[in-house]
Amino acid sequence: MQGETISRDFPAIDAIIKKYGERKEFLICILQDIQARYGYLPREDLERVAEKLGIPLIQIYSVATFFKAFSLRPKGGHTIQVCLGTACHVRGAERVLSKIKRDLDIDVDETTKDMNFTLKTVNCLGACALGPIVEIDGKYHGNMNTTKVESVLKKYSTKMKE
Amino acid sequence: MEKIESPLELEKLRKSIQSKKKKEKTFISICAGTGCRASGSESVINAFKEEIKFLGLQNKVGVKVTGCHGFCEKGPIIVIHPKEIFYHNVEKEDVMEIVSETIIGGKIIDRLLYVDPTTGKKITKESDVPFYNKQKRIILGNNGKIDPTDIEDYIALGGYSALSKVLFKIKPEQIIEEVKKSGLRGRGGGGFPTGRKWESCRNAKGKLKYVICNADEGDPGAYMDRSLLEGNPHSVLEGMIIGAYAIGSKNGYVYVRNEYPLAVKHLEIAVNQAEEYGFLGKNILGSGFNFSILISRGGGAFVCGESTALMASLEGKPGEPRAKYVHTVEKGLWNKPTTLNNVETWANIPIIIHKGASWYSKIGTEKSKGTKIFSLVGKINNTGLVETPMGMKLREIIYDIGGGIPNKKKFKAVQTGGPSGGCIPEELIDLPIDFEKLTEAGSMMGSGGMIVMDEETCMVDVAKYFLKFLMEESCGKCVPCREGILQMGEILENITKGNGQPGDIELLEEISTVIKDTSLCALGGTAPNPVLSTIRYFRNEYDSHIKDKKCPAGVCQALIQYSIIPKKCIGCGACLKQCPQNAITGEKKQPHIINPEKCIKCGACYDVCKFDAIKRV
């Protein structure tokens, strides 16, 4: 798989599973922790979780594909989240999203070829006063418009080169 | 900290905290809710801490990092107590001056004061700002006074006294009676009477019962639950513990959205502290009552706000709802009797116990009691969280508190109830807002999002937006919701692309009826509301799209054209540089023109033009 660089770290996965007492009702929390660690859910890890919790792999996949928070593919160095909440929408979030898509030449849920950016959308970040909002790696960029997109993206492109 | 083992010990502790706090005469309360953080409040906080340390004022001046004050538009916000001096849009560069002038010198800094847009007067005190003084902040009010990561702040303001009262003086049945008498109804959307829910759960068979706090706040544009959890988590926990005692439950869960990292963090701290002080765990306050709370983070699915889907998710399964022939108060989580209430509902409980049902039921309207927190967002001057008594008129919320519509634009509608709600048009602006009136108007209370729309908002586009949202969030279990919303979305897509047909509106209405009648859960059952309410009040706009192939608000891309108004264009060339298609041409200092054949209608020129010379019709 493209961008697969992490060698599987089962002790870390086992520690996560142990933290939740190896109880299967904490499956979502376990997956969240794995996702937070690697940015996505590697298949080998899911197999490990299935084995440890004693549940079929397909059941894990049904959860992993149901919830928006999980990704089965590796993410880029920076994750961009464009807020498409109603307040951002009426203030022109769609135009901002289109501009980012054009500039990066990717669609939502895709990663740029250089693995620098992954583009996501989010339903509401609850910082509506600053809408339209674009969140990059947890930092909020408020009152966005098509003009601002370029300068904001630039900051993260150069940072990666350094 | 040793566990508190009796009500007497709690009161002793409270007195000692209060007398300790009294020594700190001046303190600066700085909002560090998500909104203010996004505007840079963290650097302001650090600057204050450094400056106060530098001047050696640590023992005289306190810095209180609080949760959301509500006035997000003006963030970062600070309030200097005890004089209650309100400064807004504070930057770290202002900090030295604030400390030397206001805190040491006792002088007011004019430029940081709030200016009342209607009178033009500068306002010094927080409680005199119209945004605040028209509200009734019984739930949100303490957000600005307490550090949410310090349980002692909550205790100092009377926290956990309601719990101590019920554990030793009130029987569970009496608590339920009190909650019933208060008239409290669920704040998550449905508006079901809370006391009745508790009663059914208490009477349900089985020893093992669960209490759940629904903090999976999914409605886009609504963030009151997040602010409560971030700013005053103990009020929610106290409500839950009281509820658990009334129902006879030992185990509770908070299901919180993972997209709210700060809320999760504050909640975790609060649960740990509550355990440490003996408000959670075994033998709470020496009463013999045991109750513990686990925090579970959501996976980012809107449908998990629905109670049965939430419970499925808590069990580690995909969040699919089930039919509710058997109520969750009888068979809920793990098939055990379960009481699920929303964050704001739980936060109301300690106040009802503390002040009494008869006090509480005096607030509000005949059938909707108490206050409601709304998040006032969209095309509004004072974006923020607003708590008003039930029954306040929409006009007062939008104009008196919200400060009206920005850029001298005209008010068009307000959307309430999120994707399950509807749009309320300008002619209903004097509508008193409560559960019944909103439903009569074809919308609903929902969790309290109020998205204000102006003349530049296209109502067909809004309807399409919500359908697209629901299309993605439908879990896919039942056909009417999965397929019906998809079909409606396609019809709306066609209309907004200029391919609408006569009869489309009627077809939308027909599909709506089927979806409403046959969907498994409330997500599908209410999904057509945004479409139906916009058809009801803005049919003309649908007609313009379908018959005239025009979008009067200038939003639907396929139906609009960008052009340059020659009289306004000074030929600066800013748009020319921005245009990704090289569709704009023109000499310097001469009016430019847009070639409509090359234009992809991205709006870049519109955003960059400082002279309003780009027309979008």
Taking contacts as CB-CB distances below 8 angstroms, the residues of chain A near B299 are 28, 31-32, 63, 66-70
Rounded CA-CA distance B1/A157 in Å is: 49
To the nearest whole Å, the CA of A133 is away from the closest chain B CA by 10
* Cis peptide bond upstream of B566, omega within 30: no
Say if B20 falls within a structural domain: no
pLDDT for residue A2 is more than 50: no
For B124-180, what is each residue's pLDDT tens digit?
999 999 999 999 999 999 999 999 999 999 999 999 999 999 999 999 999 999 999
B425 bridge partner residues: B413
To the nearest whole Å, the CA of A59 is away from the closest chain B CA by 8
Q: Which residues contact B571 (CB under 8 A, 6 or more apart)?
A: B586, B587, B588, B589, B590, B591, B592
Taking contacts as CB-CB distances below 8 angstroms, the residues of chain B near A126 are 34-35, 217, 222-223, 226-227, 260, 375
CATH number for the domain that contains residue B32: 3.40.30.10
Interface touch A146/B218, C-beta < 8 Å:
no
Percent above pLDDT 70 for chain B: 100
Q: Specify the 3-state DSSP secondary structure of A70.
A: coil
Task: Give the number of A-B residue pairs with CB atoms closer than 8 Å.
Answer: 154
Rounded CA-CA distance B379/B251 in Å is: 43
A129 touches chain B (CB under 8 A): yes
Of B73, B378, B602, the CB nearest to A95: B602
DSSP output for B134-158:
T---TTTGGGGT--TT-HHHHHHTT
The Cβ of residue B43 has, within 10 Å, a number of other Cβ atoms equal to: 14
Q: Are strands B562-564 and B384-389 parallel, antiparallel or unpaired?
A: unpaired
Residue that terminates a domain, selected from B517, B548, B579: B548
B591: nearest Cα among B553, B557, B612, B564: B564
Taking contacts as CB-CB distances below 8 angstroms, the residues of chain B near A125 are 34, 259
**Positive or negative: CA dihedral B236, B242, B245, B248:** negative
To the nearest whole Å, the CA of B473 is away from the closest chain A CA by 9
To the nearest whole Å, the CA of B301 is away from the closest chain A CA by 6
Q: Are residues B197 and B309 in the same domain?
A: yes
Q: Are residues B386 and B423 in the same domain?
A: yes
Taking contacts as CB-CB distances below 8 angstroms, the residues of chain A near B226 are 126
Q: Are residues B356 and B399 in the same domain?
A: no
For A40-90, what is each residue's pLDDT tens digit?
999 999 999 999 999 999 999 999 999 988 999 998 899 999 999 988 998
pLDDT score recorded for residue B389? 97
Tally of domains in chain B: 5
- Domain boundaries of chain A, sorted by first residue: 10-66, 78-161
B411 touches chain A (CB under 8 A): no
Range of the domain at B571: 561-616
Interface test with B, best of A84, A86, A89, A94 (most B CBs within 10 A): A86
Measure the N-to-C terminal CA separation of chain B; round to a whole number of Å.
Answer: 66
C-alpha of B59 from chain center: 36
The residue of chain A with its CA nearest to that of B472 is A68
Residue that terminates a domain, selected from B333, B360, B387: B360
Q: Are residues B508 and B610 in the same domain?
A: no
Cα three-residue angle B442-B450-B302, rounded to 5 degrees: 85
DSSP output for B186-247:
-TTSS--BHHHHHHHHHHSS-S--EEEEEE---STT--HHHHHHHH-HHHHHHHHHHHHHHH
CB B379 within 8 A of CB A88: no
Of B35, B301, B418, the CB nearest to A66: B301
Confidence class for position A7, pLDDT limits 50, 70, 90? low
Q: Which residues contact B238 (CB under 8 A, 6 or more apart)?
A: B159, B160, B162, B163, B279, B349, B350
Reported ipTM exceeds the 0.85 cut: yes
Contacting B residues, span 286-305, partner chain A, CB-CB under 8 Å: 296-302
For B467-481, what is each residue's pLDDT tens digit?
999 999 999 999 999
Of B300, B383, B604, the CB nearest to A68: B300
Tell me the angle at which helices B485-496 and B459-473 cross, rounded to the nearest 10 degrees: 150
Main-chain phi, psi angles of B35, to 5 degrees:
-60, -50
Interface touch B220/A124, C-beta < 8 Å:
yes
Is the domain defined by A10-66 classed in CATH 1.10.287? no
A17 touches chain B (CB under 8 A): no
Q: Are residues B492 and B535 in the same domain?
A: yes
What DSSP state is assigned to residue B409? P
pLDDT score recorded for residue A162? 41
B475: nearest Cα among B511, B520, B541, B430: B520
Q: Are residues B509 and B449 in the same domain?
A: no
pLDDT for residue A5 is more than 80: no
Q: Are residues B324 and B394 in the same domain?
A: no
Of A69, A98, A145, the CB nearest to B300: A69
Interface touch B457/A145, C-beta < 8 Å:
no
CATH number for the domain that contains residue B304: 3.40.50.11540
pLDDT score recorded for residue B117? 80
Say if B242 falls within a structural domain: yes
Residue that terminates a domain, selected from B360, B380, B410: B360
B388: nearest Cα among B371, B369, B364: B371
B171 touches chain A (CB under 8 A): no
Of A27, A142, A146, the CB nearest to B603: A146
Distant-in-sequence contacts of B581-589, Cβ < 8 A, 24+ apart: none
Of B319, B320, B378, the CB nearest to A90: B378
For A114-134, what is each residue's pLDDT tens digit?
999 999 998 888 888 888 999
pLDDT score recorded for residue A68? 84
Instruction: Please indicate whether the domains covering A10-66 and A78-161 agree at the CATH topology level.
Output: no
B254 bridge partner residues: B213, B295
Q: Are strands B78-81 and B61-66 parallel, antiparallel or unpaired?
A: unpaired
Interface touch A124/B223, C-beta < 8 Å:
yes
Taking contacts as CB-CB distances below 8 angstroms, the residues of chain B near A89 are 220, 462, 465
- What amino acid occupies position B292? S
Write out residues in chain B with pLDDT < 70, as ranges: none
Of B34, B319, B320, the CB nearest to A127: B34
Of B73, B220, B316, the CB nearest to A27: B316
Q: Tell me the two tokens of residue B102.
A: 């206001």
Say if B57 falls within a structural domain: yes
Say if B507 falls within a structural domain: yes
Interface touch B457/A133, C-beta < 8 Å:
no
A36 touches chain B (CB under 8 A): no
**Positive or negative: CA dihedral B518, B520, B525, B527:** negative
Burial class (CB in 10 A: 0-12, 13-18, 19+), B518: middle
Rounded CA-CA distance B272/A6 in Å is: 34
Interface touch B603/A124, C-beta < 8 Å:
no
CATH number for the domain that contains residue B596: 3.30.70.20
Is the domain defined by A78-161 classed in CATH 3.30.830.10? no
B221 touches chain A (CB under 8 A): yes
The Cβ of residue B78 has, within 10 Å, a number of other Cβ atoms equal to: 29
Q: Are residues B195 and B290 in the same domain?
A: yes
Q: Which residue blocks in B416-528 are alpha helix, DSSP H? A: 435-440, 459-473, 479, 485-496, 504-518, 522-526
